[in-house]
Structure 1
Amino acid sequence: MDRLRQRADFLAVANGARVNSPAFVLQSRPRDDGGPIRIGFTVTKKNGNAPARNRIRRRLRELVKRLDPVSMQPHHDYVLVGRSGALSRDFATMLDDLRMAFTKPARHTAKGPANGRSPRTDRTGPRPAPAASRKPE
């Protein structure tokens, strides 16, 4: 099992399937090459200061070490996105969550426009007049 290190690989996996858990989000993406399973870890700044983020990352790495690689699909990339719940959640429970995440059918997410919103389709009617041009009654 190898580690993901490059930003482009993390971005590619982010467009793949997701499984949510209270302590983490598991993202996965199949690869076309015959390479080994690769896994990456990330924790955003909204989860706390650097020591807290490092603690979350260490717990996630230890989860993967204790997980049997048979449960992971070959020729896949995985990213574990840490959540703040990883600090307070029991380690055995997190390990069960990770096992379930690898067995659960993943939810595929389709990305829309760059801003994450779907295009507006309700613009068929007339637009309201600007506030400055309205006359008081």
Structure 2
Amino acid sequence: MTPAPEILKSRSEFLACARAQRQGTRGMMVQARQRPDDPDGPIRVGFTCSKKVGNAVARNRAKRRLREVARMVLPEHGRPGWDYVLIGRAGATIDRPFEALKGDLVHALNRIHGA
């Protein structure tokens, strides 16, 4: 069984992903980068939602949905040594059906990794 992804916490890690590849989907924006210093390290993931998504309750709900999608999809479709940031979209992340949200992440990862 693949271990759960580690969580990105520092601002510098989020900014490094922001300067790398990105792929937008209907339900979220995915930013990704391969870590040059740790190519065989664990998958790491971070989550963020701006105030455009809504009030604190809406942002937290969107992030909870993104966390669950990442927990289900990244061990299978993510690559070791990569950092991913999932950004919630206003209206779409909360209202999109969960299976469609999972499909969005799989599609974004396939595009980022060139599959």
TM class by shorter chain equals 0.7 to 0.9
Aligned 8 A contact 1:18 1:106 in 2: no
Aligned 8 A contact 1:17 1:28 in 2: yes
Question: Once the 2 structures are TM-superposed, how far is the Cα of residue 35 of structure 1 from its aligned partner?
Answer: 2.2
Question: Once the 2 structures are TM-superposed, how far is the Cα of residue 105 of structure 1 from its aligned partner?
Answer: 3.7
Question: Once the 2 structures are TM-superposed, how far is the Cα of residue 68 of structure 1 from its aligned partner?
Answer: 5.0
Paired position in structure 2 for 1:36: 42
Higher relative contact order (CA 8 A, sep 6+): 2
Aligned 8 A contact 1:17 1:106 in 2: no
**Larger fraction in helix:** 2
Aligned 8 A contact 2:28 2:88 in 1: yes
Question: Once the 2 structures are TM-superposed, how far is the Cα of residue 74 of structure 1 from its aligned partner?
Answer: 1.3
Pairing partner for 1:22 from 20, 23, 26: 26
Q: How does 1:55-74 map to 2 (within 5 A)?
A: 55-67=61-73, 69-74=75-80
Runs of 4+ in 1 over 4 A off after TM superposition: none
Gaps of 5+ in 2: none
Aligned 8 A contact 1:19 1:106 in 2: no
Q: Within the alignment, does 1:92 sit opposite 2:96 as a pair?
A: no
Q: Deviations over 1:81-137 (max 9, x none)?
A: 111211111111111111111111469xxxxxxxxxxxxxxxxxxxxxxxxxxxxxx
Distance 1:53 1:70 in 2: 26
Percent of aligned pairs with the same amino acid: 42
Gaps of 5+ in 1: 108-137
Q: Choose 1 or 2 for highest CA Rg.
A: 1
Root mean square deviation, CA, Å: 1.5
Paired position in structure 2 for 1:82: 88
Q: How does the TM-score come out when normalised to structure 2?
A: 0.87
